[in-house]
Amino acid sequence: MSEDTSIFVDRSSSFESKAPAFEENTPEQQPRLTGSSRETGQSRSANKKGEGSSQVQATGDDRHMLESLKKIRDRALAGRRRAIADAFALADQCKAFGQRLSKAQLLAFIRNECRVSRTEANAYLLLADFAGPERADLERSAIEVGVLCRLAKQPATVRAEALTVLRSGRTLSLADLRLLRRDVLAGDARNSSQPDRTAINELKRVARLKAKDQVDRFILDLAGLANAFAALYNETTPEDCSAETLARVQALSVDASHLAKELREVVPAKVLTPSSSLGERSWITVQDTLEQIAEAKLCSMEGWCWPDVHPFWIDEHLHEILGWALGQEIPELAGRKRPVPNGGVALDRHPLSSASRPSAPYRYSVLELCAGAGGQAIGLHAAGFRHVGIVERNPEAASTLRANRPRWPVIEEDMNTIDIGRFEGVDLIAAGLPCQPYSQAGERRGSADERDLFDRTLEIVEQIRPKAVMIENVVGITQVTHAVRRLNVFSTLERLGYDTDWRVIEGPVFGLGQNRRRAILVAMRRGMMHRFRWPLPPEMAPTTVGTLLKDLMGARGWTGLDGWVARADGLAPTLIGGSAKKLGMDLAQPNSRKAWLEIGVNPRSVGKQAPDPDYLGIPYLTLPMLAQLQDFPADWIFSGSRQAQFRQVANAFPPRLSRVMGLAIQRALSGEEISVKTAIEAPLFKRIDLAELNLHMREAAE
């Protein structure tokens, strides 16, 4: 065993020798406290002789265990040291990149590409200021990277003291560093001309304790008033105007008057304002209720006021407000989501298996940009979003939208010139921006391509300030060649007050019959992103092309159908061809043509109809088949020429992927959880949607 291991063993043994002192012994286990030391020594010698073999075995086991513990310790320390070295390396590289990238772009890179938290991202730019000897000391200390980042933000005196502590062989936690900062800065203040704030801070601490006690007493007294109010309500009738009842009402009035005054002392009047974060109740309503009870206005009859001797009904609504203040369930709000203070949202982590959309659909509004033939719009509608505008400049695609959903607010305009001021306050902006600037077929010219609309979309976000943003594009935008473009998008959204995440979602894991992968950007107002999580794939069998298209392929009685279904036992390649510059109707580029042929599909063109009974050879897919591969509803009608219809289908964001993304964003907004599997197995449109009918009736009335 090495010297280091021996130290490890000795320390562990010293701790183990003290352990029995904390255990309770039975009478049989009590040690003998009398007798000579020689007797004790003889006893120990006998034990060694009688238990020698087992003692040797125990020592061997201990050595093996301690060797394992040492390896784990060394591995943990080495890992933290590597993490510190990597943090310094990243800081140095960012400092070097600072000559070509702005600070906002560097922070966007650290936060979004390297997935470093917001609190640590700025610190990484400061780590480069640590000198070589300091770095060596920090690596040897093996502190957590989070502590390292916090240390980088400290004043020079705090950093110097912390480094001295680490050089002494100690370590530091975040709590240690916080307390060290407090004490060092207090010492700095004492040795300077700055005033000593010790007494002031102590006064603040005592005041906080007094306020807490005052609130506790107030809540206790308020509970007494609420119980007395409930007893009066339950034990009297509308006709009861007895002296005893009058006395109880008067006692309530006196208590409520005291509590109303006490509430004004606990919370200043300027703070007693309605708060949207508390839902339909706030402390100003409690104040109003107490003042109403203080004036003996307990009746629900308008214009009636105690002590007129009329029969009365006690207004139970007053008791509900008192119940809200005490954290009790309010009958009229039963079943609704309980509000969370400070604008939070209660997250439902147990979805109802029968629900395929939120319980209150069309509560949240969406403005959709570059809608195309409606793939994204269908999915967001199915997820429960209410469209306030669907912008699409292509006449054929706009006609498709109107033909299928006449009530949808389709706006056939160019988003570069549209006046979007009327949409201020919308909850979600969803955009299916042109993919060609970032696709292989479009030569990946990025922002240099005239079809790129990211900058215009960000301008619209800045003007409207929605709660959430979702932008769909091809996977190519996540490649290294477009890294600077992504950083520009990240940094702009950061400046506008949004947290952003960009991920690739896979179509097949959600039951799509093609290998379609889409890059999705989700941005949310700061303070909301922690509630968003990317949709998790449900457990479901993959959908093969043969299974998906069997009915359409056999519509004309093709005798070779069964053989084709067996051959088409796989997924289709990603459907392409949505560019307006594309003149042909072929399905594949050279590298994907082989994949189409392997599943029994001729990708050179699009068929006009299903194979006839005697058809020989590899069949073509028809437009309805392609639409089904893209997950459009079977009755969705496409307008325009065959070429225009093909582009609309090929360019679409599959509705089921839009749906699961819409549900994920809905959960972040409302807290309501919906089962992804239940949702994607449900129809995209209800035959009779009462919620949608009511929505249209309200819109018509307005």
Q: What is the 3-state secondary structure (H, E, C) of 20-31?
A: HHHCCCCHHHCC
d(CA 86, CA 96): 15
Residue closest to 584 by CA, chosen among 652, 647, 514, 515: 647
Q: Which run of H or E residues covers position 219?
A: helix 198-235
d(CA 364, CA 669): 8
Length of the chain: 702
**CA dihedral in degrees (318, 320, 326, 329; nearest 10)?**
180
For 157-206, give the DSSP string.
HHHHHHHHHHHTT----HHHHHHHHHHHHHHHHHTSSS---HHHHHHHHH
Contact 641, 315 (CB under 8 A): no
How far CA 86 is from CA of 80, 124, 135, 303, 522, in Å, comes to 10, 11, 11, 74, 29
Q: What is the DSSP letter of 110?
A: I
d(CA 4, CA 302): 85
For 244-297, give the DSSP string.
HHHHHHHHHHHHHHHHHHHHHHHS-GGG----GGGTT--HHHHHHHHHHHHTT-
Cβ neighbors of 683 (< 8 A, separation 6 or more) are 633
The SS3 of residue 223 is helix
d(CA 636, CA 630): 12
435 is a catalytic site residue = yes
- Rounded to the nearest 5°, which phi and psi values hold at 368? -110, 135
Residues facing residue 525 across a β-bridge: 498
d(CA 104, CA 488): 8
Cβ neighbors of 399 (< 8 A, separation 6 or more) are 639, 640
| Catalytically annotated residue among 149, 299, 370, 435 | 435
Q: CB-hemisphere CA count at 13 Å for 329?
A: 5
Side chain identity, residue 243: A
Q: How far is CA 536 from the centre of its chain?
A: 13
d(CA 404, CA 44): 93
Q: CB-hemisphere CA count at 13 Å for 268?
A: 2
Mind telling me the catalytic residues?
A: 435
